[in-house]
A and B are shown apart, each in its own frame.
Chain A
Amino acid sequence: MENKSDSEPLLEIKDLWFRFHGSKEYVLKNINLTFQRGEFVLLIGPSGCGKTTLINTINGIIPHVIQGLRKGSVKILGKDVRNMKLAEVSTHVATVFQDPETQFFTLSVIDEVVFGPENLKLPLDEIERRFKFAVKATGIEDLLDKDVMSLSGGQKQRVAIASAMAMMPDILILDEPTTNLDPKGAMEVLRTIANLRKETNALIILIEHRLEEVTKYVDRVLVMNNGEILVEGDPRKVFRNPELLYRIGIRPPWAAEAIVKLKKLGVIDGDFDIPLTPEEAANLIKKLLSDRIKRIGKEQLVFPQEEKEYEDIINKEPVIEIRDLWHRYPDGTIALKGVNLKIHQGEFVGIIGQNGAGKTTLLLHILGILRPSYGEVRVFGKNVLNMSVGELSQRIGLIFQNPDLMLFQNTVWSEIAFGPRNIGIKGKELEQRVRESLEMMRLVGFEKRHPRALSRGQRHRVAVASVLSMRPKIIIADEPTTGQDFGASKKYLELLRELNKAGTTIIVVSHDMDLIARYTKRVIVLKQGRVLIDGPTRAIFSREEILNETHLKPPYVTRIGNGLKEFGLPTVLTLEELISFLASAVLGPEITELKIREVFR
């Protein structure tokens, strides 16, 4: 019996096709995969490519809960999932989803971890053994006496993983377990997942966007697109071809992309393994270039124009003035502790910080939704508490994380006209505002369409257009890239950049450091309700030791650059900057901008 399980694959997917009831299009197309025990597999692909549908065919949700037309087979230890009861599948497969709270059944951590084994009616000593195993594997010893609802996001997700591990599954599936977490929580969870490899022999299938953090642990990467497996194999081989991933809207690890582009430009050559982390990339560049690189000129170490731009802001009109702002919530939490800051016309500001740093509380005060416990917030010189909702909405537009929360009308036209109509604008002026917003968001032709019937990117554009029709002077975007693939995020941020160029003040709140580095000009770092540091983006990301105080890390590209400081490389914010500095240092300044642009096309 043992010999049989050793020889046969743990999970075998053969000629798998699937389409939902009522749909003619197949979501999964001819999937053929084999997985062994102890493997750690990363599944990536753009939004809507079929990743979740694929894992639902493994955990039995398809066909036992969600039905459709399934062809081919999904076999766990030789037995098709279709022929097993869902309860039986759950003894083999455990799934952890994005939002840990939706998976909790009990109030205490201990109850939560033993909930699964208790439901299997296992003997007490077996439950105890599994409990000890799950707690050790996930390192949640210090959380055992706590109430699940009092835990941080990262801790909650670790408890959810422990509950899954207590089932001692043969297959553990993690579906974007870090999406809703801040950087600290995400790292906590990813470290836990990496540690599971040592503790269990289960097959781990992970869906995750933070490639830099996970690729170093995985054995195999599966790239999905449009219901098919596009590429599979060792991560160092898969990421050797970043263009392929870019084409389908996936951003490869920065480290891999940087090396491939440097090779394409002729800055480095030879045969080497593709690096997966910023540290690996910096070491490889150092090794390959140590005797070829000329020291980068000292005059390039700083960017005086950016620093001057920051200091010159004070000559512009302040649009938001926050004076000694304190906020204490009814439960006693002091979310803001004397914040004092000004944001001026035409700025593109990024606000970063861990969950609980006070970012949302600050935004809610700017929007007049929360009343300060002490201090005041002025928008265009007027206290927000003395402004009506109509008055505020003409000055500040808020774009939610999820565009669907902003769409409630039956046509795109009426969605965009809703705001102006509410402040009494009608007739030709209304028509003109809607038309302008449609044109700006490239939505002409979509006027009569139902907003919900559009793609996510288009829905996002409708949401932005509905804000633009109010002609706000300030736009606040809260976590604009959460739940979006790289391609969609980039388009959306480019749009905000265009609006900023036209004079709109933009404030972006995000955990995505690469996005903040690429688009914003000023960064405000919040830590426990205070401003930790505030300055030009490049200057902020060069202060790694100060960012560490709040467990934030500079963008990955900046970290590659920081590893090359001995060559005199300045703080770089984008891949384009890194490549052009290295290219001109190695190949000489005559390397044309055109050549560099070529490799980024």
Chain B
Amino acid sequence: MSSYSDYLKALWMGFISLPVILVIIQFLSTQLGLSRFGIFITLYKGTPLTINYIVRWLLLSESEAFRGFNFWAIILTWCVGWLFITDWVRNIKATTLGIFLTYVLYVIYVTLYHRYPLKLVFPSSFTPIIASLIVMILAYTYRRTRKTKSFFDKLREAGIEFPDIYLKLVEIPQKCGHCGALILSNSEYCWKCGEKLGKINV
């Protein structure tokens, strides 16, 4: 069940988030005054943006998309998008398939829905897929190799200590060492003789 939802999450988030990220990058480049340093993105030209147009940029099917920093903005969009999705979904199969399916859905959206004659050039038009896959593999490998703190490490860091008996895993049923009664939980006392179980061998 959870794996189906991973595939859905990866596909849906990929499809929705990339255009949004590209618009955010365009907005930031304008608002931060990056054009003064020669960094200039020409997605927005004063007329309202259509989703169809943004998706064509993301597919690198517009000749303008290759000009200047436009190309790097598009690659950055794909990489940032799939970096977040990899971290969120945490399922490499779902994320890999998500990258390809997102690309295919974009192509379907532009060609079948908007009847736009899409021109894809090999290999340049597929650069976003390759870049996204590299970023995803790096992110996934980093996550796997990074030493994560256990729940108990975090408690220790917060200065919370517990008696050893709290950290000892007791097999259920446990047997009271004093009277031999069976106990169906890791209770602190024996129900039969009232003996404190932490003090004796269990």
Q: Which residues of A contact B (CB under 8 A)?
A: 307, 310-311, 313-314, 321, 323-324, 326, 328, 332, 334, 337-344, 373-374, 386-388, 522, 524-525, 527, 530-536, 539-540, 543, 545-546
Q: B187: CB under 8 A from chain A? A: yes
The reply to whether B191 and A534 form a contact with Cβ atoms under 8 Å apart is yes
The smallest C-beta distance from A171 to any residue of chain B, in angstroms, reads 47
Additional A-B contacts beyond A337-B162, A534-B184 (10; CB < 8 A): A307-B192, A313-B184, A323-B169, A337-B166, A340-B169, A340-B172, A341-B185, A344-B184, A374-B151, A527-B188
Q: Is the interface of A mostly helix, strand, loop or mixed?
A: strand
The smallest C-beta distance from A354 to any residue of chain B, in angstroms, reads 15
The reply to whether A326 and B151 form a contact with Cβ atoms under 8 Å apart is yes
CB neighbours (8 Å) of A532 from chain B are 187-189
The smallest C-beta distance from A334 to any residue of chain B, in angstroms, reads 7
Q: B183: CB under 8 A from chain A? A: yes
CB neighbours (8 Å) of A545 from chain B are 194
Q: B112: CB under 8 A from chain A? A: no
Q: How far is the CA of A342 from the CA of B171 in the complex (A)?
A: 11
Residue of A nearest to B196 (CB): A546
CB neighbours (8 Å) of A388 from chain B are 1
CB neighbours (8 Å) of A546 from chain B are 189, 194
The reply to whether B162 and A342 form a contact with Cβ atoms under 8 Å apart is no
Q: In the complex where A337-B162, A539-B192 touch, is A531 in contact with B185 (Cβ < 8 A)? A: yes
Residue of A nearest to B160 (CB): A334
The reply to whether A531 and B162 form a contact with Cβ atoms under 8 Å apart is no
The smallest C-beta distance from A143 to any residue of chain B, in angstroms, reads 26
Q: In the complex where A332-B158, A373-B151 touch, is A539 in contact with B172 (Cβ < 8 A)? A: no
Interface size on B, residues (CB 8 A): 28
The smallest C-beta distance from B195 to any residue of chain A, in angstroms, reads 11
The reply to whether A543 and B191 form a contact with Cβ atoms under 8 Å apart is yes
Q: How far is the CA of A525 from the CA of B166 in the complex (A)?
A: 16
CB neighbours (8 Å) of B155 from chain A are 328, 334
Q: B170: CB under 8 A from chain A? A: yes
**Could you list 20 examples of A-B contacts with CB < 8 Å?**
A310-B182, A310-B184, A310-B191, A314-B182, A323-B169, A326-B151, A337-B162, A338-B186, A339-B185, A340-B186, A342-B173, A342-B185, A525-B187, A532-B187, A533-B187, A533-B191, A534-B185, A534-B187, A543-B189, A546-B194
The reply to whether A314 and B194 form a contact with Cβ atoms under 8 Å apart is no
Q: B2: CB under 8 A from chain A? A: yes
Interface string of B28-60 (1 = CB under 8 A from A): 000000000000000000000000000000000
The reply to whether A543 and B194 form a contact with Cβ atoms under 8 Å apart is yes
Q: How far is the CA of A536 from the CA of B181 in the complex (A)?
A: 11
The 8 A-B residue pairs with the shortest CB-CB distance, nearest first, are: A535-B191, A341-B185, A340-B186, A374-B151, A531-B187, A534-B187, A534-B185, A533-B189
Q: How far is the CA of A328 from the CA of B167 in the complex (A)?
A: 15
**Most chain A beta-carbon neighbours within 10 Å: one of B152, B166, B182, B184:** B184
The smallest C-beta distance from B163 to any residue of chain A, in angstroms, reads 10
Q: How far is the CA of A525 from the CA of B184 in the complex (A)?
A: 12
Q: In the complex where A340-B170, A386-B1 touch, is A533 in contact with B186 (Cβ < 8 A)? A: no
Q: Which residues of B contact A (CB under 8 A)?
A: 1-2, 150-152, 155, 158, 160, 162, 166-167, 169-170, 172-173, 181-192, 194
Q: In the complex where A328-B151, A532-B188, A536-B191 touch, is A342 in contact with B172 (Cβ < 8 A)? A: yes
The smallest C-beta distance from B175 to any residue of chain A, in angstroms, reads 10
Q: How far is the CA of A313 from the CA of B172 in the complex (A)?
A: 12
CB neighbours (8 Å) of B158 from chain A are 332
Q: How far is the CA of A539 from the CA of B150 in the complex (A)?
A: 38
The reply to whether A530 and B188 form a contact with Cβ atoms under 8 Å apart is yes
CB neighbours (8 Å) of A387 from chain B are 1
The reply to whether A540 and B191 form a contact with Cβ atoms under 8 Å apart is yes
CB neighbours (8 Å) of A342 from chain B are 172-173, 184-185
CB neighbours (8 Å) of B169 from chain A are 323-324, 338, 340
The smallest C-beta distance from A418 to any residue of chain B, in angstroms, reads 22
Q: Which of B183, B186, B191, B194 contacts A339 (CB 8 A)?
A: B186
CB neighbours (8 Å) of A341 from chain B are 172, 184-186
Q: How far is the CA of A126 from the CA of B151 in the complex (A)?
A: 55
The smallest C-beta distance from B3 to any residue of chain A, in angstroms, reads 10
Q: How far is the CA of A344 from the CA of B172 in the complex (A)?
A: 12
CB neighbours (8 Å) of A524 from chain B are 185, 187
CB neighbours (8 Å) of A543 from chain B are 189, 191, 194
Q: How far is the CA of A480 from the CA of B192 in the complex (A)?
A: 29
Q: In the complex where A531-B187, A532-B187 touch, is A311 in contact with B182 (Cβ < 8 A)? A: yes
CB neighbours (8 Å) of B185 from chain A are 339-342, 524, 531, 534
**Most chain B beta-carbon neighbours within 10 Å: one of A311, A337, A340:** A340
Q: How far is the CA of A522 from the CA of B182 in the complex (A)?
A: 13
The reply to whether A535 and B170 form a contact with Cβ atoms under 8 Å apart is no
The smallest C-beta distance from A388 to any residue of chain B, in angstroms, reads 5
The reply to whether A311 and B181 form a contact with Cβ atoms under 8 Å apart is yes
The smallest C-beta distance from B177 to any residue of chain A, in angstroms, reads 16
The smallest C-beta distance from A443 to any residue of chain B, in angstroms, reads 34
CB neighbours (8 Å) of A374 from chain B are 150-152
Residue of A nearest to B186 (CB): A340
The smallest C-beta distance from A509 to any residue of chain B, in angstroms, reads 16
Q: How far is the CA of A522 from the CA of B183 in the complex (A)?
A: 11
The smallest C-beta distance from B123 to any residue of chain A, in angstroms, reads 41
The reply to whether B186 and A531 form a contact with Cβ atoms under 8 Å apart is yes
The smallest C-beta distance from B184 to any residue of chain A, in angstroms, reads 5
CB neighbours (8 Å) of B189 from chain A are 532-533, 543, 546
The smallest C-beta distance from A233 to any residue of chain B, in angstroms, reads 44
Q: How far is the CA of A328 from the CA of B156 in the complex (A)?
A: 13
The reply to whether A314 and B187 form a contact with Cβ atoms under 8 Å apart is no
The smallest C-beta distance from A521 to any residue of chain B, in angstroms, reads 12
CB neighbours (8 Å) of B183 from chain A are 534-535
The smallest C-beta distance from B57 to any residue of chain A, in angstroms, reads 39
The smallest C-beta distance from B188 to any residue of chain A, in angstroms, reads 5
Residue of B nearest to A539 (CB): B191
Residue of B nearest to A347 (CB): B184
Q: How far is the CA of A540 from the CA of B184 in the complex (A)?
A: 14
CB neighbours (8 Å) of B1 from chain A are 386-388
Residue of A nearest to B183 (CB): A534
The smallest C-beta distance from A401 to any residue of chain B, in angstroms, reads 25
CB neighbours (8 Å) of B181 from chain A are 307, 311, 535
Residue of B nearest to A307 (CB): B192
Q: How far is the CA of A248 from the CA of B167 in the complex (A)?
A: 52
Q: How far is the CA of A532 from the CA of B172 in the complex (A)?
A: 15
Residue of B nearest to A326 (CB): B151
CB neighbours (8 Å) of A332 from chain B are 158
CB neighbours (8 Å) of A307 from chain B are 181, 192
The reply to whether A338 and B184 form a contact with Cβ atoms under 8 Å apart is no
Residue of A nearest to B197 (CB): A533
